[in-house]
Structure 1
Amino acid sequence: MSDRWDGPGGQATRSRTGEVPGQRAGESGSAPRPGGRAAAREAARSHGGKRSRRRARSAPRGRRILKIAGLSLAIIVLGTAGVGWWFYQHLNGNINSVALNGKGGSETADAFGRTPINILVMGSDGRTSKADCKLGGGCSQTGVQTGNGNADVQMVVHVSADRSNATVMSIPRDTMVNVPACKDSENGESTAGYYGQINSALRYGPACQVATIHQLTGIPIDHFVKLDFSGVVKMSDAVGGVSVCVNNNVYDTYSHLKLSRGTHTLKGEAALEFVRSRHGFGDGSDLGRTLSQHIFLGAMIRKFKSAGTLTDPAAVYDLADAATKALTVDDGLGSVKKLIGLAADVNKVPTKRMTFTTMQTAPDPSDTNRVVVGGGAKDLFASIAGDQSLSTGSGKKAKATSTATASTVPASRIAVTVENGTEITGRASDVANALTGQGFSSATTTANAPSPSATTTLTYGTGQKAEAQTAAKALGLSSKHLQQGTGTGLTLVIGGDWTTGTAYPGGSSSPAPADTKAAVSDANAQTADQAKDCAKVSPYKTVSLNGVPMTPAQAYAAATNKKDSDD
């Protein structure tokens, strides 16, 4: 931003002379007389110099007019700049930021020095204000609550290093995980770590939620954005409402969402009811809710990108003011300039290359109301961590990766026998753990080499060269370390030339490519350009009206005295 005290009005005022604009020096403002300049001078002499005195009086008057005009212009310029400066400071003052302190790891730049962006977007269920108590309910006995609440919405938003594609991965709130040791820098709440529901980590601060998801997925999390109930209301109002579709009549008696079949534009509380509804869609669990949230977000992104939304000054002001008031972010995003930069990066990605997914899950053996990480999730995690697109250039879901070339062999299909050929205890375990951490098969094993080895080798069986090349790339080994054997499988012998670390010294290791077909399998993948997708209303008796279990459609028909959410 240029200095508001150095506007064009001041420069224009300083550059003016005392002459009336458009006049040459020595000319009057009247029409030219016949005979040219000589005749005009003669006429002036015959009038005793009165013309020259009139001209002399006109110059100061011209200067006064110019001074007034220049002063007025300067006031306008300074006033406009002052409003801009006030607006900028006002927005910065709205933002609440919290330090991450490296809890989410860090990204690695690609060959061109570009880095991906990974943001954890959280929706808190905390009733920490009167507005949230009114919207969320449940404060009649407790009153306004303190603390962070639970992260009932958790989405990892990945923007590729080249800004050509993006992936949004929802993690169901009912997922059971190991929460690491954490301490909230804001209120001092701490935990030594525990096994529990993933959304509970937010109680120990946003950085703890980031650390929990980083530990679970291996994805570096650069930033976080947290919204509460009132934040969703403000954002939906600021964009003028979000258009969504439901495939049947629905009344979720818990979130209070009530809509007839078809398309609706939702604002305010209606938007909040839609994104909070877990009993209205799918199987009535949090898995169904993530799909309807993806539909809502896709519609909001299309609204952001639509003509007029970002070119209307009033709309931009409302949106910026609402966004900065609604968000809590990490200190890496704690200014208007940084948020604008992030928005610009996201805006570069076409909607057909923004892929929404839900982390694959499996039932928790010890609790039917909870889930654990499913089998395909490792490939989804690896594809995001490896900056792999889950959509094609046409916006379709990624197809199966070919095993014909080394660069596309999925790590999940490769098991390696790691043998320690050094005299250093634990070398095989260190390297094997690094491989499984990059998504290699859990069938990877360790052993001691039959005899000490001075050099590191990776031996592969017939037809397994491509697999060996994938493993070598992940470890930083060059082609000179590879050799074909007579047996089957891959055997890595760690030699005396590699005594420390999990990447070969001087090598250029990189994450092994993930199986993108497995990554989107059972992940309910869809792209942001799918405007005709409707949220699927639950066909099960997931709600209750007057104590009677019903389907959401039955509840809609029975609740004739309840207004629709968009009325």
Structure 2
Amino acid sequence: MSDPWDGPAGQVTRSRGTRVPGQRTADPDEVRPPGGRAAPRAASRGRGGTRSRRTPPLSRGRRVLRAAAICLSVTVVVTAGAGWWFYRHLNGNLHSVSLDGKGGTEKADAFGRTPINILVMGSDGRTNETDCKLGGGCSATGVQTGSNADVQMVLHISADRSDATVMSIPRDTMTKVPACKDGESGQSTPGYYGQINSALQYGPACQVATVHRLTGIPIDHFVKLDFSGVVKMSDAVGGVSVCVSDDVYDTYSHLKLSRGTHTLKGVAALEFVRSRHGFGDGSDLGRTVSQHIFLSAMIRKFKSAGTLTDPTAVYKLADAATKALTVDDGLGSVKKLMALADDVNKVPTDRITFATMQTAPDPADDDRVVVGPGARSLFATIADDKSLTTGSGKKSTAASATGKATATATATATAVPVSEIAVTVQNGTGITGRASVVATALTGQGFGSATTSNAPSAAAATTLTYGTGQRAAAQTVAKALGLPAARLKQGTGSGLTLVVGGDWPSGSAYRGTSTASPAPADTKAAVSDAHASTADQAKTCAKVSPYKTVTLDGVSMTPAQAYAAARNKPDSDS
């Protein structure tokens, strides 16, 4: 097989010493005997005539064309060679890991289109000297092994690529980590109850499996970024513009900025996204909001003409991204990452919604949180590929297929609060876990209880049977799940029994056999208390914490007070 940059197959180059058939050679002093064809030539020379064997000289125009053709050929070869080197170089930068199917699988919609769900992880690992210097904490331990996923965001891109949702999961969330084994390090666990970010110690696939277990959202891919990765990415894009509502000095992340707008690069960008004591209530919840502001600004920068049309900027960005990222095998090439970037680029900024998973205090530990009211609605919205914005980018007020678990919505259908409505959910599909998925969605929306069992026999169609006097309660359940009125029927017994049929094989919102696009979700139900925002909100400032969340010289104070007290310390963007 010939090298792709060689000439056409079979082409050869003659050396100077190779004699071409038919070519005559002679010593210039050779004396030829008279006669033959040499005699007329000699006679001609004797008459003062000459006969040159040289090719007539090319005209100037033809010489220019030939030079241009040579230059063009060289340019094509050099450019192609550089492009090939660049592609190989970027692919060589990437590090990929297998997910082993632990994140579940997305199902295509009625048109054959498939949503994309990616777990974006920010690692706190100090696994090399660079990250030790950036993250600190290595003075006693040295370079460490293992890491936690201190940033966890589920990026959902809709099947039709018209909208996207980014949901942050606070690192302090307590949950069940399943049995895992890291294929690279060999570390394993039989499973435990603990902080969600700790699952990364058993590999990225374990973190994906843990998030999938918690949310029910299929996770197709993952992207992992470390401290130095944030620095490289922010530098490559030329800095990210952010705004802070007040002077802030987080003595833990070392972020120090005056009130107003700043362009952050390198270490300053890392300090901003790591700051948890500088914003909000000083917890990880406030940090997720400031991270959304940062990412929104970065997305706007990516989409700007000055970034994506500048070859130098694109090269720096691509080189930095591939060096900074660890991805799953499904994204383990430049071609696949470019396709993903193209999918994200199709979504307008006013239809990219950022939200933080709703939480509640952990009864066993005030410093930890658990899944809160409303979170199940948000999970279901993402899993069911529902939009959180309308076509114009405004928040939707339409009824959600995941429903409203609010008193106002309930009052329109029944006087009985949803907390007093109990439902028996039976699985008639033959698909393991279907009743549990739907029951979890109901309790997540505030319904009193939802017990599960297998249906007596397989059911082709989903039905909701209600007892005497319970039609209004059944209508409330149907509204929450998106069931049409035709699926309700009155029975002879008491209570509400939902049989999940073969027409509802996946998800927690009923879609039936309709080929219509999913209805937009109701943001009031799915994003209530989730600090929702969209990526087009350029004037949003990160809210500096008004509480005494930092310590300077042993004294507790607010981040603004710390800024004033540390006048001799330069600002992060200075």
* Counterpart code for 1:512: A
Counterpart position of 1:200: 198
Q: Contact between 2:431 and 2:505, CA under 8 Å: does it hold in 1?
A: no
Partner of 1:308: 306
Q: Which runs of 5+ in 1 are unaligned?
A: 9-49, 495-501
Q: Following superposition of structure 1 onto structure 2, how do residues 45-124 of structure 1 map, counting pairs within 5 Å?
A: 57-59=56-58, 67-124=66-123
Paired residue secondary structure (1:85): helix
Matched, 1:443 2:449: yes
The CA deviation at 1:452 is: 9.9
The code of the aligned residue for 1:368 comes to D
1:370: which partner in 2? 368
1:478 and 1:507 in contact (8 A); partners too: no
Q: Is 1:302–1:351's contact at 8 Å kept on the other side of the alignment?
A: yes
Q: What is the CA-CA distance between 1:271 and the residue it aligns to?
A: 0.3
Counterpart of 2:233, as a letter, is: M
Q: Which residue of 1 aligns with 2:436?
A: 433
Flag structure 2 segments of 5+ consecutive residues without an equivalent: 9-48, 407-417, 511-520
CA RMSD of aligned residues (A): 3.6
2:259 to 261, 265, 268: 261
Matches within 5 A, 1:127-276: 127-147=126-146, 149-276=147-274
Q: Counterparts of 2:476 and 2:438 in 1: how far apart (Å)?
A: 13
CA distance in 1, matches of 2:389, 2:302: 21
Contact 1:473 1:510 in 2 (8 A): no
Q: 1:454 to 1:54 in 2, by over 3 A?
A: closer
Partner of 1:490: 496
| TM superposition shift of 1:130 | 1.2
| Identity in percent | 72
Instruction: Flag the 1:361–1:465 CA change in 2: closer, same or farther, 3 A.
Output: closer
User: Aligned-pair distance for 1:432?
Assistant: 3.9
Task: Report if the CA contact (8 A) 2:119-2:154 is conserved.
Answer: yes
Q: Structure 1, residues 283-313: CA drift from partner, whole Å, max 9, x if none?
A: 1100000000000000000011112111011
Deviations 1:256-291 (CA, angstroms, capped at 9, x unpaired): 000000000000000000000000001110000000
Is the alpha carbon distance of 1:121 and 1:442 closer, same or farther for their aligned partners in structure 2, counting shifts above 3 Å?
farther
1:347 and 1:453, CA in 2 relative to 1: closer, same or farther beyond 3 A?
Answer: closer
TM-score relative to the length of structure 1: 0.81
Equivalent-residue separation in structure 1 for 2:536 and 2:459 (angstroms): 56
Whether the 8 Å CA contact 1:107–1:115 is kept in 2: the answer is yes
Any conservation in 2 of the 1:150–1:202 contact (CA below 8 Å)? yes
Change (3 A) 1:141 1:348: same
Give the structure 2 partner of residue 549 of structure 1: 556
Once the two structures are TM-superposed, the CA of residue 398 in structure 1 deviates from its matched residue by 3.3
Cα deviation per residue 1:301-349 (whole Å; 9 max; x = unaligned)? 0011112111011000000000000000001000000000000000111
SS in 2 for 1:195: strand
Deviations 1:168-199 (A, max 9, x none): 00000011111000000011000000011110
d(CA) in 2 for partners of 1:473, 1:245: 41
Q: Identify if the C-alpha distance between structure 1 residues 453 and 279 changes in structure 2 by more than 3 Å, giving closer, same or farther.
A: closer
Name the amino acid aligned to 2:508.
Answer: P
Q: Secondary structure at the match of 1:394?
A: coil
Q: Is the 8 A contact 2:425 2:438 kept in 1?
A: no
Q: Take 2:208 and 2:538, find their aligned partners in 1: how far apart are those partners?
A: 31
What letter is aligned with 1:523?
A
Aligned to 2:539: 532
- What is the CA distance between 1:436 and its match in structure 2? 1.2
Q: Which amino acid aligns with 1:140?
A: S
1:517 aligns with 2:524: yes
**Paired residue for 2:26?**
none
In the TM superposition, residue 375 of structure 1 has moved relative to its aligned partner by: 1.2
What is the distance in 2 between the residues matched to 1:180 and 1:69? 66
Q: Relative to structure 1, is the Cα distance of residues 4 and 447 closer, same or farther in structure 2, using a 3 angstrom cutoff? A: closer
How many residues were matched structurally? 504
**What is the Cα deviation at residue 144 of structure 1?**
1.5
Aligned to 2:573: 566
Contact kept, 8 Å, 1:4 with 1:81, in 2: the verdict is no
How many angstroms apart in 1 are the aligned matches of 2:453 and 2:270?
A: 55
SS class of match (1:444): strand
In 2, Cα distance between equivalents of 1:454 and 1:168: 36
Structure 2 residue corresponding to 1:289, chosen from 287, 290, 299: 287
Cα–Cα, structure 1 residues 522 and 58, in superposed 2: closer, same or farther, change >3 Å?
Answer: same
Aligned partners of 2:403 and 2:481 also within 8 Å = no
**Alpha-carbon offset, residue 139 of structure 1:** 1.1
Q: Which residue in the other structure is 1:390 paired with?
A: 388
2:465 counterpart of 1:462: no
How far 1:409 moved relative to its partner?
Answer: 4.4
Residue 491 of structure 1, CA deviation: 2.5
Following superposition, the deviation at residue 454 of structure 1 comes to: 10
By how many angstroms is 1:224 displaced?
A: 0.4
